Amino acid sequence: MTPSEELRAAAERLRKLATNATPGPWRNHDTHLGQYGYTATVLSGDGNTTQLRAWLPTMSQEPWDETRNAWADSAYIAAMHPGVGKALAAWLESWTGIEVAEDGPFVEELPHALTVARQILGSTA
């Protein structure tokens, strides 16, 4: 795959994932489960329209228990909601029409875009 094809494929994959997901923004929350303790959750909506997006079980008896990574994970998941995915897809796609030569402009920036694209595609090549 050429760099341009990698960028385009990653943008398409990310845009599809973001479009199919519940729109953001999302937020993390410390949910109390009674006798089962606390768990980290990711929510969307506000007030009566709040919906559960993800549940990261910890069964900790402490709210916001920082000894368990679930709360840090839920904060990260919430921050990377579909709006962020769509913005990243647009950024990746913006690189697809640029010819980058070793001695040309953007030569130092392209590797960053390719790194992101390759992570999205699950490769490191």
Calpha distance 27→80 (Å, rounded):
10
Does 89 share its domain with 74? no
Query: How much is the pLDDT for 100?
Result: 62
Dihedral angle of Cα 110, 115, 120, 125, to the nearest 10 degrees: 110
Q: What is the mean pLDDT of each run of 10 residues along the chain (125 residues)?
A: 89 95 90 84 88 83 72 89 95 83 69 91 82
**Structural domain of 64:** 25-79
Provide the pLDDT for residue 81. 94
Are residues 7 and 44 both part of a single domain? no
Q: Do 15 and 31 fall within a single domain?
A: no
Same domain, yes or no, for 92 and 104? yes
Is residue 123 classed exposed, middle or buried when 0-12, 13-18 and 19+ CB atoms within 10 A define those classes? exposed
pLDDT, residue 32, reads: 84
pLDDT at 56: 85
Phi, psi of 83 (to 5 degrees): -60, -40
Question: What integer pLDDT is reported at residue 73 of this predicted model?
Answer: 87
What pLDDT is recorded for position 102?
A: 60
